[in-house]
Amino acid sequence: MTTRGFHESFLGKARQEDGNVESSLVLIPLLILFLIAVELIVATNLDFALAQSDASSRAISGIVTSSDQVIELSSPDSFTHMKLLITRRKHSLPQLVPGLVALLGGNAVVEVNGAAVMENLN
């Protein structure tokens, strides 16, 4: 096969596959957007798990900080006295796209609550 024949057959095959460049131009930004969304979901769920773990350990030990909220739960049974501990956790999100938060005019902060029933220590 001559060089000319090779070039003609290559160009013929390249012309048959129209749209590959366009699809790659769409897939690359879409993949980046998907990875950013996954990173935000993982960061939020991790903060929620930490807040819930913190609430559980504080409810068992009975240690309450000033940022926590204790809710007294009334019960018709006079021997049952329950308290609910609510903890709050505030954490800033990582800047995955520089300038995006400033452009949207928001604040990249995740606020999550953890809840646990406090143990009676009497």
Residue 60 domain-assigned? yes
Residue 11 domain-assigned? no
Q: Give pLDDT, residue 91.
A: 78
Nearest to 89 by CA among 116, 108, 68, 119: 68
Nearest to 87 by CA among 115, 119, 59, 110: 115
Q: Give pLDDT, residue 63.
A: 84
Q: Is 98 helix (H, G, I), strand (E, B) or coil?
A: coil
Residue 42 · residue 101 · CB < 8 Å: no
Note down the domain range covering 78.
Answer: 18-118
Q: Give pLDDT, residue 25.
A: 80
Residue 5 domain-assigned? no
Residue 31 · residue 89 · CB < 8 Å: no
Split into its structural domains, the chain has a count of 1
- Residues forming beta bridges with residue 69, ordered by sequence position: 86
Q: How far apart are CA 35 and CA 94, in angstroms?
A: 13
Q: How many residues in the chain?
A: 122
Residues of the chain with pLDDT under 70: 1-8, 10-20, 78-79, 96, 121-122
